Amino acid sequence: MTVLVTGSRGRVGSALISLLHDRGLDVRAASAAPGSLSLPGGVPAVRCDLHDPATFPDALDDIDAVFLYAEPSHAGAFAQQAGAAGGRHIVLLSSSSVLGPGARESAIAAPHIAVEQALAASPVETTVLRPGAFAANALQWAGALRHSGTIDLPHPGSYSDPIHEQDIAEAAYAVLTEPALRGEAYHLTGPQSLTFTEQIAALESAAGRILPSRHVTREAWKESVSPYLAAAPADALLRYWAASDGVPTTVTGHVERLTGHPARTFATWATENASAFTG
């Protein structure tokens, strides 16, 4: 089996490439800029820009399965080309945001819904992974600490279910390599529902220092992130955080079902990434 992995520069994609390669499977790393990838020896890179259908045929040639990031602009064309090239299975990295109320109107959920629907209408069997919050989202706080010396939180009591990127990669490996797991949608979460305040406490414990934070207004937070986050996704995040403020999120056992081990804790992720928060 040969697997094409899109998003090869990302934490999940790169971890999945290593898993597939280390276990003796043929893997091809796809990227809009393949020359800039850092890959295990023997893993070929191919240009595949999910915004440019002209790059699809060469990338998908002689591919059996695909790990696909959720880019909606040409998802239907990608799936059709995958089927025409002989691809039999697509594993989509979607988002649990599609499960929430008002998902179709959400700037975060709507693109994932569009890709899920495009793949459902294609001839290629699809398995959908819907992770909640990535643990690595906390690295944005490391950037904030370096820039301003503090973490601004409009809803410090908002809950999420941070999941380790390695668990997502291992779940993807499982559904790619075990036919009995295919064709379903899996809601992937970390093992605990934690507030932002609790996540910062875990990071402080791992880093051995206080990480200053402050409760700010929604308007102040939106203004502070405006240079790099558009208004629509910023508003979607604020609505989600408001809805989950004081309301624990639901955690699932799907990581353990797919990988055979419990999901890694946020404290584990914090320990592994403590250097980002040490000064």
Q: What's the pLDDT tens digit per position in 245-255?
A: 999 999 999 99
The whole-number average pLDDT for the span 103-121 is 95
The whole-number average pLDDT for the span 158-185 is 98
Residues forming a β-bridge with 126: 90
| Residue 202: how many other CB atoms lie within 10 Å | 21
pLDDT score, position 144: 94
The Cα–Cα gap between 115 and 217 comes to 34
Q: What's the pLDDT tens digit per position in 7-63?
A: 999 999 999 999 999 999 999 999 999 999 999 999 999 999 999 999 999 999 999
pLDDT of 132 strictly over 90: yes
Record the pTM.
Answer: 0.96
> Residue 5's closest CA among 128, 256, 176?
176
The Cα–Cα gap between 277 and 249 comes to 26
pLDDT of 102 strictly over 90: no
Q: How far apart are the first and last CA of the chain?
A: 45
Q: What's the pLDDT tens digit per position in 47-88?
A: 999 999 999 999 999 999 999 999 999 999 999 999 999 999
Share of the chain above pLDDT 90, in %: 98
Q: Longest C-alpha distance within the chain, in Å?
A: 55
The whole-number average pLDDT for the span 113-136 is 97
The Cα–Cα gap between 267 and 271 comes to 6
Burial class (CB in 10 A: 0-12, 13-18, 19+), 2: middle
Average pLDDT, the chain: 96
User: Any idea where the domains of the chain sit in the sequence?
Assistant: 2-131
Token pair for 95: 């988002």
- Between β-strands 213-215 and 26-31, what pairing exists: parallel, antiparallel or unpaired? unpaired
Alpha helices (runs of H) in 125-217, residue ranges in sequence order: 139-148, 165-177, 196-207
pLDDT score, position 187: 98
pLDDT score, position 251: 97
**Confidence band, pLDDT 50/70/90 cuts, at residue 100:** confident
CATH of the domain spanning 2-131, picked from 3.40.50.720, 3.40.50.970, 3.30.479.10, 3.10.129.10: 3.40.50.720
